[in-house]
Amino acid sequence: MMEVIKQPWPWYVAGPLIGLTVPALLILGNKSFGISSSLRHVCAMCLPGEIPFFKYNWKKELWNLFFVSGIFFGGVMAVIFLSNPAPMQLNPYLVKELSVYGISDFSSLVPVELVSWDKLLTVPGFIMMVGGGFLVGFGARYAGGCTSGHAIMGLSTLQWPSLVATICFMIGGFVMANWILPLILML
């Protein structure tokens, strides 16, 4: 059984399991699935100031913080107990393309040449980690939610703004991966 859990699950198993969280949350408590809103709840809980954006009854959303904590600790447990020691299998075309930019160490989930503490202090590393983190946070707030909230919850409840946001997320990902990332990696 442990070998089945340690292997990547096919899309036709993992996808429906993720998708079933939507009706489960709706049926069990009329709750909406989303991750980015949990940061707002933490800020509302920890910042006693008079900022109107954080003045709401965050205690009603405490379930969301437990949900996000479960995702985090589930990931920690998966790394500790279920990690696969085999090297990451990548498409040979991707390995060839990344080698053009000097990326060849795939011993981790993310190439070491892209994300490491040493790379954070370089211009490309700072742009990707700090600038990218800011843009993701700003984009999630500007779009009224993150990819999980819009693409999983919003689309399943047939919300037009979620369709627009998901299309924009996909276009942004395509532009970043194919046009902007190569420019950053050449710095």
Q: Provide the residue-wise pLDDT of the chain in tens; the chain has 187 residues.
A: 777 777 778 889 988 988 888 889 889 888 888 888 888 888 888 887 788 888 888 898 898 899 899 999 999 998 888 877 777 788 999 899 889 988 888 887 788 887 788 888 888 888 888 888 888 888 888 888 888 889 888 998 899 999 999 999 999 999 998 999 888 888 7
Q: Which pLDDT score is estimated for 147?
A: 85
pLDDT for 112: 81
User: Residue 179: what pLDDT?
Assistant: 93
Contact 163, 155 (CB under 8 A): yes
How many Å apart are CA 36 and CA 137, to the nearest integer? 8
Hunting for tokens 């009603």 — which residue is that? 60
Under a CB-based contact definition with an 8 Å cutoff, are residues 166 and 155 in contact? yes
DSSP output for 101-136: TT----SSSS-TTTSSHHHHTSHHHHIIIIIHHHHH
Polymer length in residues for the chain:
187
Q: How far apart are CA 171 and CA 84, in angstroms?
A: 32
Torsion sign (Cα): 174, 179, 181, 182 = positive
pTM: 0.76
